[in-house]
Amino acid sequence: MKRVGIIGTGSYIPEKVLSNFDLEKILDTNDEWITTRTGISERRVAKNDEASSDLAQVAAERALAIAGITPEELELIVMATITPDTHCPAGANWLEAKIGAANAVSFDITAACTGFIFALSVAEQYIKAGIYHNALVVASEIMTRTLDWTDRETCILWGDGAGAAVITEVENDRGILSTHIHTDGAGGDTLLMPGGGSKTTPISHESVDKKLHTLNMIEGNRSFKVAVRRFSEACEEALSYNNLTLDDVKVIIPHQANLRILQGMAKQLDISMDKIYVNIEKYGNISSATVPIALDEAVKDGTIQPGDLVLLTAFGGGLTWGSSLIRW
């Protein structure tokens, strides 16, 4: 069996910072309330003329530079996003053109916050099958354009950004040991953007007035408990599959959903928070992009070293959850 590995990572965070103190000016909230409940101090907001493919372009070009791969050498681009530039064509198609990857096949994956792990799994299978050799996996989101800015429970959570990874065949014992993905469609209504699809077409004044085109979070407490359980199960599944334990893992890179969720996962797994990489305080929840952004930062700040065992895990709308265990 061929081993597939990540040979380059990259990320891009928009320049504009939206702090909790900024939100105090437009919402009935305060920094202490937000920080205590979410762990978030600030988040980033894309420029008005930036689309998801623009954020993805910068992250992708940085990952390609690290990997030493030219855009022309790419054969596959899989983009995870729930905020593509357009519903047609796909966000990945726009990205393909912008980076000049004329020889690549490109398409989107929609798996909400677990999107990067789903996209990584799809690209990995193509390479293992020998169909493609060099692939770009990217996740890019502009979540701030999906929000109801009068809803203080949800609009405080989200931010914008993109992360990318170049994957190809690798030698020795390094690379992706296993990837595991799951869905539960029966729970899909707990994190929902009801407008914009065929159910509410065409878009009307009525659908906009009802805020059907903004992200809704239903039964937050129930979602919190499910998230903690699925995060933990995803980690345990990857380790069990590979006959390893958490003691073998150098760092867990989770989806940055909410600090309290990550603390709940640590408690359930009986590990220290020191083993969990956290950057949610700077960026908030960027849906599918949080995992590759955190992964890129962990590589660049030296948290991850060659030979380290790295565990990626995520949970999101759909419901979706999954994990990927990687020997760096």
Which pLDDT does position 2 carry in this prediction? 78
Which pLDDT does position 221 carry in this prediction? 59
Whether cis (ω within 30° of 0) applies to the bond prior to 319 is yes
Which pLDDT does position 1 carry in this prediction? 65
- Give the confidence band of 216 by pLDDT, cuts at 50, 70, 90: confident
Given a cut of 80, is residue 211 above it in pLDDT? no
Whether 279 is catalytic: no
- Give the confidence band of 220 by pLDDT, cuts at 50, 70, 90: low
- 116-137 pLDDT, tens digit per residue, is 999 999 999 999 999 999 999 9
Looking at per-residue confidence, does 276 or 171 come out higher? 276
Q: Which of 20, 93, 134, 285 is catalytic?
A: 285
Q: Which of 20, 113, 155, 235 is catalytic?
A: 113
Given a cut of 90, is residue 152 above it in pLDDT? no
Least confident of 94-103, 183-192, 264-273: 183-192
Which pLDDT does position 73 carry in this prediction? 98
What is the Cα–Cα distance from 164 to 64, expressed in whole angstroms?
9
Q: Are 164 and 137 in contact (CB under 8 A)?
A: yes
CA 235-228-284 angle, 5° bins: 100
The owner of tokens 């490109």 is: 106
pTM, to two decimals:
0.95
- Give the confidence band of 225 by pLDDT, cuts at 50, 70, 90: confident
Q: Taking all residues of the chain, what is their mean pLDDT, rounded to a whole number? A: 93
Least confident of 169-173, 214-218, 247-251: 214-218
Which pLDDT does position 255 carry in this prediction? 97
Tokens of 262: 């990550």
CA-CA distances (angstroms) from residue 85 to 58, 77, 157, 292?
Answer: 15, 16, 22, 20
Which pLDDT does position 319 carry in this prediction? 92
> Which domains can be identified in the chain, with CATH numbers?
4-172 (3.40.47.10), 177-327 (3.40.47.10)
Nearest to 9 by CA among 166, 205, 236, 121: 166
17: part of which helix (H) or strand (E)? strand 16-19
The owner of tokens 């809803």 is: 151
Which pLDDT does position 207 carry in this prediction? 77
- 59-78 pLDDT, tens digit per residue, is 999 999 999 999 999 999 99
Instruction: Go through the chain and tell me how many residues it has.
Output: 328
- 27-53 pLDDT, tens digit per residue, is 999 999 999 999 999 999 999 999 999
Alpha helices in the chain (DSSP H): 20-24, 31-38, 52-67, 91-99, 115-128, 205-209, 220-241, 259-269, 280-283, 290-300
Given a cut of 80, is residue 210 above it in pLDDT? no
SS3 assignment, position 36:
helix
- 157-189 pLDDT, tens digit per residue, is 999 999 999 999 998 889 999 999 999 988 777
Q: Are 79 and 104 in contact (CB under 8 A)?
A: no
Q: Are 143 and 319 in contact (CB under 8 A)?
A: no
Helix then strand then coil, in percent of the chain rounded to 5, is 40, 25, 35
Whether 255 is catalytic: yes
What is the Cα–Cα distance from 32 to 258, expressed in whole angstroms?
15
Q: What is the mean pLDDT of residues 81-103?
A: 96
What is the Cα–Cα distance from 311 to 295, expressed in whole angstroms?
10
Tokens of 19: 């702090």
What is the Cα–Cα distance from 325 to 233, expressed in whole angstroms?
13
Q: Which of 20, 235, 255, 258 is catalytic?
A: 255
Which pLDDT does position 201 carry in this prediction? 67
